[in-house]
Structures are given as C-alpha cells and as structure tokens.
Structure 1
Amino acid sequence: MTDDPAVTRRTVDDADARRASRRWWDGDADDYQAEHGRFLGEVDFVWCPEGLREAQAGLLGDLTGRRVLELGCGAASAARWLATRHARPVAMDLSAGMLRHARAAADSSGVRVPLVQADALALPFADQSFDIVCTAFGAIPFVADSAAVMREVHRVLRPGGRWVFSVTHPMRWIFLDDPGEGGLHAVHSYFDRRPYIEQDADGVPTYVEQHRTLGDRIRELVAAGFTLRDLVEPEWPQGHDGIWGQWSPLRGRLFPGTAIFVSDKSPG
C-alpha cells in the first residue's frame, strides 16, 4: 500500500484481486480492529454497520448442533458467537493478519473455534460438509468471480442448507464514499460493474472491491442452485450516531447501506 494510492475503476482478474486482498487485509488488520473491534465485539454477530445483530434478526435459523462455515471471518467474532449458541462453527479467512486477531480474541474471550486460512474460490471442505454458510461483508465483495463463490458454497452445503451474506447495498455505488453531504450526490452509474481499485505507483492493485447490481446477485444465486428467501435492507436505527467509513446517520436515514441475501439450497 502507498500513503496516497491512485484510485481507478478497471477490470482485474481473480489472481490480482486475491493478491490485493491478502496484502491489504494483512497490512490493515491492526488498524481495522483498532477502529471497528469494539463495535463488532469479541463474541457477537453483527451483520452490518447499521448494527443489525443475528441475535435479533435470526436470519440463520435454528443453530443448535448445526455445522456452520463463516467465510471471510476477519477476527471471527461471529463464529465465536455461533459457538455460544450451540452451533459447530468453522471460521475461514484469506488473511493471516485477520486470523492473528481471531486467535488473540479467542485467548481473551475464552471462546475457541477452528480457524482455516483459505480462498473462498477453492473451499478446502468436502461436498455437503455444512448446514449453514454465512458471511458479514467477507469474501463476496473482494473476488472477481463471485458467481464461482456461490457455486462453491452450494457444493459444501447439505441439501436444504442455508446461505446468508451481507454486502454493501449496490445502490451505494452510485455515490462517493462520503458520510457527509458530499455522499448524497449521484456521480457514478449503477450499471458500471468495474471494481473500485486503489493501486500503487506501478499500477499494481493494492485494494479491490467489486460492484454487482441487485439483479446480478440474485442471478448468481439462482444459477448456483439457490432459492432466495429474503433480501434484508436494514434501516438506520434511532440513537445510532456512529460513522463507519461511508455509513452515517445522515445517509442511513435516506437510503440503504447494506443488503443481506438469505437463500436456501434445494432439499434434494
């Protein structure tokens, strides 16, 4: 990473996206946890900056005895929360830096879950290994071929299993990443699917985040064999005055910042 990276939008392949993500999250892990760790908690499942928690939303359904894979787990606070709800979670992330924080939080909280370093495009698990797969802003926005991730998730889920993931609401890509007044003006096309890229002086991507429309996401799910059960757009709650990047009370009162897709694999 550079102190002042060039910002652009252009197509990159999965290899470039993977390298950028590992480099970014390894390098940013300490700062990310310092800024957001308190909000996310050590043993909690927070779906989004709006503060919606799985404890209140119940999007994953019954957890008792269920084998759950958390993709893009970061410091694995969600997986640890799942363990306290009698699930059998596995937490997976591409970044060694984030998994280092997951190990530290396990030590301090006393709640331990299996940690796996792996790529969401090549899940190191057998077919039909899990009852539930979930992620809160992990993996999906950072791979070029997110349709391939949907297929991998479908492969490792048992028949009737559930797949739930949250991402930045696609509507947000119309606007600048500004929590203030500047973030209320549409400046980009909703249909521009080129990823947001920060790159170094040599043009090497250091951060890559992908954009897909709502329709794109639904088609990816359906093509992989899932049935969409719900699309949750959390509203900004009263009394929540925090700012997380481009999320803020000002913008949150006007338009959604997060989309949560709830889907099931066919029972057979």
Structure 2
Amino acid sequence: MESSPDAGVTRRAVSPAESRRASRRWWDADADDYQAEHGSFLGDADFVWCPEGLREADAHLLGDVRGRRVLEIGCGAASCSRWLKTQGATVVAADLSAGMLRHAQAGATRSGVQIPLLQADASALPFADGAFDIVCTAFGAIPFVADSARVMREVYRVLRPGGRWAFSITHPMRWVFLDDPGEGGLVAVHSYFDRRAYVEQDEQSVPTYVEQHRTLGDRIRELVDAGFVLKDLIEPEWPKTHDQTWGQWSPLRGKIFPGTAIFVSTKPS
C-alpha cells in the first residue's frame, strides 16, 4: 500500500521533531474543517471519549472530579475540559495547535464556560511536579507523538501521588485494516507488528501528517515503565442505536471489532 518515497502516503520512521512540526501544521490548517465536521457530535461542553459515543457522564472513568485539579492534554476544542468545569473541577486545557485552541476559545464564548487555555507540547509539560489530581485526553496527543513513552513520564511527573491518568486512542488492532468504514475496512492488509508511522508527505519528503502505531502490549509497557498501575482497559462496543459514521468508525465495523481503546491508570500513592 506504500507509494513513492518522495510524495504521498508511506510508512516510515519519523523523528520527534518531524512529528511535532507535522502535527502542529496539520491541526492548525485542519482545525476549521475538523470542527465543522465533528463539532456538533462533540458538543460545546461535553466529554465524549470516542466515536462510539461513550460519555464520561455515563462511564465515570475519571472518578469524582469535583474539587479536583485536572489537566487535559491534546484538548482540541476543549469541550471535555468545559464539561469537567461544569462538574466542579479546576481545569487547564493544553494543545499543540493554535488553530484548535482558537476553536476552544470560540467554544468557551458560545457556552459561557471559560477555562485557561495553553499551547504546549505534551512531551514537555510546563507544570510543576504533582500539580494535578487527574490528567486526561480523548484521542489527543498520544497517537501523534513519536516518543509517547516520554509523554507517559511527563504525565506521571505532573500528577500527585494517587492521581489518575486516562486516555483514549484508536484501538491498535485497527492498524491492520484500511481506514474504510465500509466492507473494504474488514480485510486485514497490514501487519499489526509494523510500528512504522503512517506518514503523509510532500514532494520534498517533508511529513505533513503523522500518526503513530503501538500494540496494546506496547502501550501497557509504556504506562508500567513510567510507574503507573493500569486499572482498566475499556473497548467500547458500538451502540445499536448509533448510526453515524465518523471517518473509519461505522456501525458495520463497530459491531465486529473495537475501534477505540481507553486506558485508565493511577500513580501509586
């Protein structure tokens, strides 16, 4: 499935700097289109973990957030952070992309729920040790960072002892299939063990979009090596009443195999 090494789509290793530059530029440029397509599904002040529609209001993966200090990394338009504030949390929302943070501010204006917004790299968080009770992200940061193990260590550092870290990502088994919501997306075409990044690049071989793959075991090892204790791994099932398609997520695929993995972990007391 790979194309010319010079332009188009390929699988190859990328450096952390290449990945960071590509993500910032991509999300700055795509922010308007992304929000136009998905904004109504995500809401202005709602915490939706995944395209399957699992909400934190129902799942309670973060526990009781009232009075807790919460950091959302890779916040995008920060609808999750605004929901957390309505539940009594003290929240900071961070993202690498100024374009997405522009939509976060627009969402705050529409909803009337204001939170601090910060442009920051998840692998170098500008916070003191033990500054937060909870860190979370719904499809933010982790899939787009070349050194995601470093992000785990940074999250561990800024969490207080006993703090919670929860994040959702595309389920690693989806790496085996094409990003096709139809029948074409039911046929395995890639190796699950091919950890080279998915890269879209220009004619000069400069990455314009980068997404990283790790196996389930890789993710668990990243967490454990950082010092976390894994408490749960949720693979949301596709609701029978959910008939919307989101990119590669669809009712057809969702009833056969999982599209999302949510990791819930804690920093030992």
> TM-score by structure 1 length?
0.98
User: Where does 1:183-262 land on structure 2 (aligned, <5 Å)?
Assistant: 183-262=185-264
CA distance in 1, matches of 2:66, 2:48: 19
2:127 aligned residue (110, 125, 144): 125
CA distance in 2, matches of 1:6, 1:99: 28
Q: Does 1:111 align with 2:105?
A: no
CA distance in 2, matches of 1:36, 1:13: 30
Offset, 1:202: 1.1
Offset, 1:256: 0.1
Q: Does 1:13 align with 2:8?
A: no
The aligned counterpart of 1:140 is 142
CA distance in 1, matches of 2:183, 2:210: 25
Deviations 1:7-57 (A, max 9, x none): 000000100000000000000000000000000000000000000000000
The aligned counterpart of 1:167 is 169
SS of equivalent to 2:243: coil
Offset, 1:149: 0.2
Pairs aligned (count): 263
1:41 aligned residue (40, 43, 46): 43
Instruction: Tell me which stretches of 4 or more aligned residues in structure 1 moved more than 4 Å.
Output: none
CA distance in 1, matches of 2:188, 2:219: 22
CA distance in 1, matches of 2:24, 2:187: 32
2:57 aligned residue (47, 55, 58): 55
Offset, 1:81: 0.1
Structure 2: gaps spanning 5 or more residues = 1-6
CA distance in 2, matches of 1:81, 1:250: 30
Offset, 1:178: 0.2
CA distance in 2, matches of 1:223, 1:192: 22
Offset, 1:188: 0.3
Identity of aligned residues (%): 78
SS of equivalent to 2:66: coil
The aligned counterpart of 2:156 is 154
SS of equivalent to 1:132: strand
CA distance in 1, matches of 2:205, 2:243: 37
CA distance in 2, matches of 1:247, 1:56: 21
SS of equivalent to 2:107: helix
Structure 2 residue identity aligned to 1:202: Q
The aligned counterpart of 2:89 is 87
Deviations 1:112-141 (A, max 9, x none): 010000000100000000000000000000
CA distance in 2, matches of 1:62, 1:81: 13
The aligned counterpart of 1:70 is 72
CA distance in 2, matches of 1:39, 1:203: 35
Offset, 1:228: 0.2
Structure 2 residue identity aligned to 1:259: A
CA distance in 1, matches of 2:125, 2:226: 15
CA distance in 2, matches of 1:150, 1:143: 11
The aligned counterpart of 1:96 is 98
Structure 1 residue identity aligned to 2:127: F
Structure 2 residue identity aligned to 1:15: A
SS of equivalent to 2:74: coil
CA distance in 2, matches of 1:207, 1:244: 19
SS of equivalent to 1:91: strand
Offset, 1:165: 0.2
Structure 1 residue identity aligned to 2:31: A
> TM-score by structure 2 length?
0.97
CA distance in 2, matches of 1:144, 1:28: 20
Offset, 1:239: 1.2
